[in-house]
A and B are shown apart, each in its own frame.
Chain A
Amino acid sequence: MIKTSRQMKDAVRTLSVAAAALGLMAGCASTPAPTEQMALSRAALDTALSAGGNEYAPLQLQAAMNKMDAAEKALAKEDYAEARKLAEQAEVDAKLASAMARSAKAQKASEAVQDDIRVLRQEIDRNAK
């Protein structure tokens, strides 16, 4: 499911083109730079990475990273509305990745305990024989 760098480049390029078109054609409202939102998104990404999102929620993490990259590029082009929108999406994606990773871990732990119980039961059965 992990994309090749080429695929990623394609995606980035598509998004950039769309953003540029959006900026040029619909400059309906001018917005301030989403500095705070960018920081929040980055923090959420970091958290997702450290929570093991790479392992347990690779799709969500990948999406978040892609959107974050796009947000950075939009920010660099001073397309602030686009940057905010992408950053917001990246934040929730990253948070979802974190939640999924934690959930998966918890389930794993639960399964481990269940396994323990099963093994113990087998032992008991074996000893009882």
Chain B
Amino acid sequence: MQKNRYLPLSLIAAGILSACSTVPPQNATLSDARSSYNSARSNPQVTKLAPLELKEAGETLDKADAALTKGETETTVNQLAYLAKQKVAIAEETARRKNAELEVASSSAKRDQVRLEARTAEADAAKQRAEIAQQTADQRAQALAVASAQSQRDQTLIAARLAELEEAKKQAAIAQQASDEQAAALTEARIQAERDQALINARMAEVEEARQQATLAQQAADQRAAALAEANAKAERAQALIAQQEMQLKELNAKKTDRGMVITLGDVLFNVNKAALSSGGIANVKKLAEFLQKYPQRNVVIEGHTDSQGSDSYNQALSERRAEAVQKTLVEMGISRDRIATRGYGESTPVANNETAAGRQLNRRVEIVLPDAVPDAQR
């Protein structure tokens, strides 16, 4: 550039010195330009990629040559030569640019190819990594399996320990139960003891009561003994009374029968076929009246009987009348009629054979029955 700046100046100086003089057939600038042009034309890159630019440079160079040949001013020749030289440079630069652009195009394709390779390599690497991961996973799985087996063994051990524990717990429970049972037994024994105590107390109370009762019984027995003694005394008295009565009854010719004492007033004591008592009969009745007055609690039943001679109705009536006659006699002697019952049996109850006279006499009778009175001294 520095050179360029002073170049025009020197040219101008030359121009001034040889103004409008004839042009020398040689020009340094033009020679430079031609040399550059020839160099560019021999470069196949320039002829191929920048033919237009090169052609333009060539035309300008031709003009410069023509100007030199025509003898035009050096300034003009120099100008054209400079232009030609610059155009050669432009052509070269253009060729270089196009070459670079072509390179870009081809390199891009190449880059895509490489990129593809890179992707493939990446994929391969990923695959490899996956395989490694798979291996690692397999190893881990194996390790896990081992660990799992270990864990299972541990689990079994734990289960065994648990079973032992359970067993121990069970035994403890059994021991507890035994202890509970013993406690229960103790409690029961205590309760039993209490119950026994209560029973003893009850028995003692019973014994006490029994003793009291025994005392009472003793008293009662004493009383009964006293009563018995009194009763015995009474019985003795009654016996004495009965004996006395029986003795008196014996005087009346009373006979002891099932119905009581029976006094028979024989036929002879009555007038024949009459109801009235004979004097002998009245004497007997008088003894009876005295007995009855002496023992007012005793009553009598008077029964009349006949033999079989005569009609039944006659005999019945006769038996009734005779019984009533005795009753009347007793009433006259002061005995209450209430105490004297009368009945007529006619010939229905014989005591002897009616075929003979003696038997018939025995059958004609009045029986005075004294029912067995309770020999009660208190009455």
Contacts and interface: CB of A to CB of B under 8 A. Distances in A.
A interface secondary structure, majority: helix
A122 to B, nearest CB: 10
A127 to B, nearest CB: 5
A92 B5 CA distance: 16
B interface secondary structure, majority: helix
A77 interface: no
B82 to A, nearest CB: 6
A40 interface: no
A93 B104 CA distance: 27
Interface stretch (B113-121, B213-221, B232-240, B311-319): B113-121
A92 B110 contact: no
B93 A120 contact: no
B114 A121 contact: yes
B101 interface: yes
- Say which size band chain A's interface belongs to: 35 or more
B16 interface: yes
B9 A102 contact: no
A76 interface: no
A120 B110 CA distance: 11
Interface in A78-129: 85, 88-89, 92-93, 95-96, 99-100, 102-103, 105-107, 109-110, 113-114, 116-117, 120-121, 123-124, 127-128
A113 to B, nearest CB: 4
A15 interface: yes
Interface in A1-38: 1, 11, 14-15, 18, 21-22, 25-26, 28
Interface of B: 1, 4-5, 8-9, 12, 15-16, 19-20, 73, 75, 79, 82-83, 86-87, 89-90, 93-94, 96-98, 100-101, 103-104, 107-108, 110-111, 114-115, 117-118, 121-122, 124-125
B79 A85 contact: yes
Contacts, number: 110
A105 to B, nearest CB: 8
Contact of A25 (B5, B16, B96): B16
Contacts of B100: 103, 106-107, 109-110
Contacts of A89: 79, 82-83, 86
A18 B89 contact: no
Contact of B96 (A63, A88, A107, A123): A107
A92 B86 contact: yes
A71 B125 CA distance: 67
Contacts of A15: 8
A128 B12 CA distance: 69
Contacts of B20: 26, 28
B97 A113 contact: no
Contacts of B9: 14, 18
B111 A116 contact: yes
A21 B122 CA distance: 74
A59 interface: yes
Contacts of B121: 123-124, 127-128
A109 B4 CA distance: 32
A113 B94 contact: no
A42 B360 CA distance: 219
A120 B124 CA distance: 15
28 contacts: A14-B5, A15-B8, A25-B16, A63-B1, A92-B83, A92-B90, A96-B86, A99-B93, A99-B97, A103-B97, A103-B100, A106-B96, A106-B98, A107-B96, A107-B100, A110-B104, A113-B104, A113-B107, A113-B110, A117-B107, A117-B114, A120-B118, A124-B121, A127-B121, A127-B122, A127-B124, A127-B125, A128-B125
